[in-house]
Amino acid sequence: MKNLKLNPDLYSLVDIAPTISEMLDIPMVLPDGKVIPEVNEYKITHNCKKVVLIIVDSLGYSLYRYFSESDGTFRNIRQIAESGMVLQCRSIADHTTPAIASIFTGYLPTQHHIYATDDIYVERAKDSKNPKIKTILEWAHDAGRRSAVVIESHGADTFSDRVNNIYGVPDSQDIIEYDIKITDAAVEALKSKPDVLAVHLRAIDRYAHRSQTWDELKYAAGTVDTNVGRIVETAEKGTLFMICGDHPIHAGEKWMRSASKAWVGKHQDRSVALVVGAC
């Protein structure tokens, strides 16, 4: 496993879309992000034909390292990392919607202007052909490739007719059950053998906001790892996985008082993890 963390400014979440574009030969207007050469080389040497992108909400880089290396909560995610690499990526927004828009489009928020889900409709009304609001899933679809997305229903509606398979899961107070439904839908989506599948798991973020203790946060992380494991075992051989955070966890919550000292001590997340590997 390569742990490419020496320069956290080297990679950014906006690099994910252009890297998928290069790997799967999907034409797109060149965005702010750049192709990550190590990921593209990995795809070539491992002869990967498909990509599954799993966005793990609030997966900061040090949080990833803690759950993966110090305490063993991340068994499935760690296995993917061991087959490939872990990159430390610059986070480009504090909040989910602009960050995910950047992951999907390859543009910074100052370019795509999507800060809330409905902004996508506003931006499309201004210019329906604006490449800065076009996601890699839509570029794939337009290039005749199969793309699929599994996200919260309101976000899923924005993809209407623009992606082959769209699975929306209604938001829920029970985020553990919500993530299980997301995972069920991802497993279902994989049956149609998409070239690119994007999935968003949210339990860590919700628990970071609402839980009282570090143990609760750890529990949420365990459920995310289990869900990732189900997706990995369902995917076809030769699938390249990209598992990334959207923004670092927000500190200052109640659970911080009981947070592992090993995590709090020397790490404060300013970057997010991008785990790349193959099954």
CB neighbour list of residue 186: distance below 8 Å, 6 or more residues apart: 150, 167, 197, 199, 230, 231, 234
Q: Where do the DSSP E strands lie in the chain? A: 2-4, 11-12, 50-56, 85-90, 147-152, 165-169, 196-201, 239-245, 271-278
The whole-angstrom separation of Cα 110 and Cα 119 is 13
Region from 41-49, 66-74, 205-213, 253-261 binding Zn ion, contact rule CB under 5 A: 205-213
246 binds Zn ion (CB under 5 A): yes
Region from 53-61, 65-73, 112-120, 248-256 binding Zn ion, contact rule CB under 5 A: 53-61
Instruction: Quote the least distance from Cβ 236 to Zn ion, whole Å.
Output: 28
* Nearer to Zn ion (CB atom), residue 101 or residue 180: 101
**Cβ proximity of 277 and 239 under 8 Å:** no
* Nearer to Zn ion (CB atom), residue 90 or residue 145: 90
Binds Zn ion by CB under 5 A, chosen from 68, 79, 96, 102: 96
**Among residues 5, 7, 10, 8, which one has the least CA distance to residue 37?**
10
Q: Which residue's Cβ has the minimum distance to Zn ion?
A: 96
91 binds Zn ion (CB under 5 A): no
Instruction: Quote the least distance from Cβ 204 to Zn ion, whole Å.
Output: 9
Give the Å distances, CA to CA, from 62 to 42, 68, 76, 117, 267. 24, 10, 17, 28, 6
* Nearer to Zn ion (CB atom), residue 55 or residue 87: 55
**Cβ proximity of 165 and 192 under 8 Å:** yes
The whole-angstrom separation of Cα 183 and Cα 133 is 26
Instruction: Quote the least distance from Cβ 206 to Zn ion, whole Å.
Output: 10
* Nearer to Zn ion (CB atom), residue 15 or residue 205: 205
* Nearer to Zn ion (CB atom), residue 138 or residue 205: 205
Instruction: Quote the least distance from Cβ 99 to Zn ion, whole Å.
Output: 6
Binders of Zn ion: how many residues, by CB under 5 A? Answer: 4
The whole-angstrom separation of Cα 11 and Cα 50 is 22
* Nearer to Zn ion (CB atom), residue 32 or residue 246: 246
57 binds Zn ion (CB under 5 A): yes
**Among residues 184, 183, 193, 199, which one has the least CA distance to residue 50?**
193
105 binds Zn ion (CB under 5 A): no
Instruction: Quote the least distance from Cβ 143 to Zn ion, whole Å.
Output: 28
Instruction: Quote the least distance from Cβ 269 to Zn ion, whole Å.
Output: 13
- Tokens 């906001």 map to which residue? 209
**Among residues 265, 263, 244, which one has the least CA distance to residue 20?**
244
Site residues, Zn ion (CB under 5 A): 57, 96, 205, 246
